Amino acid sequence: MKDLTILLDNRPGALADMGDALGRAGVSIEGGGAWVVDGQGVAHFLFEDGAAAPARSALEGAGIRVLNEREVVIQRLNQSEPGQLGKLSRRMAHAGVNIEVLYSDHDHRLILVVDDVHKGRAVSESWAREKQKVPDETT
């Protein structure tokens, strides 16, 4: 999965223009969000690996600026256990991984754009392995 950082005009219809361009290209968004920061529209949207290049091309063809394309770390949290975000992000911090963007995808997974994707994935994979361990009930 790839995250695209997209600049949007801060005006009515800018997000619609983006959606229309992707729709015409037959590209689906897998998750993300958009915000206004210091008067500028900034969006982070998630695309399947094979769809990121066509998405970028469609957006740029429509005059929409794509700033970056990055691999992401994907992690599923147990929504019934409070504090998981803090624990996972603390573990990332201890490993020296800076979380730059965080959002959810359409499958309710946590999407992290980090400064070191290899370290971030190692932390995430370790976290997932620990969460899958089931205590031995015979002892």
Instruction: Give the domain extent around 122.
Output: 73-132
Domain identity same for 26 and 52: yes
Percent pLDDT > 90 in the chain is 83
pLDDT of 137 higher than 50: no
Residue 85: C-alpha distances to residues 21, 50, 62, 98, 127 (Å): 34, 29, 37, 14, 11
What phi, psi does 33 have (nearest 5°)? Answer: -170, 170
Which of 18, 53, 71 is at the close of a domain? 71
pLDDT, residue 135, reads 55
Domain identity same for 66 and 82: no
Instruction: Specify the higher pLDDT residue, 95 or 128.
Output: 95
Domain identity same for 87 and 59: no
pLDDT tens-digit readout, 10-47: 999 999 999 999 999 999 999 999 999 999 999 999 99
138 within a domain of the structure (yes/no): no
pLDDT tens-digit readout, 64-89: 999 999 999 999 988 888 999 999 99
Of 50, 36, 30, residue with least CA distance to 7: 36
Domain identity same for 116 and 81: yes
CATH number at residue 25: 3.30.70.260
Domain identity same for 63 and 10: yes
Domain identity same for 13 and 66: yes
Which of 71, 92, 122 is at the close of a domain? 71
pLDDT, residue 131, reads 77
137 within a domain of the structure (yes/no): no
Domain identity same for 54 and 105: no
| CB 88, CB 131: distance < 8 Å | no
pLDDT, residue 79, reads 80
139 within a domain of the structure (yes/no): no
Which of 54, 71, 88 is at the close of a domain? 71
Q: Based on the structure, what is the number of domains in the chain?
A: 2
pTM of the model: 0.89
pLDDT, residue 138, reads 44
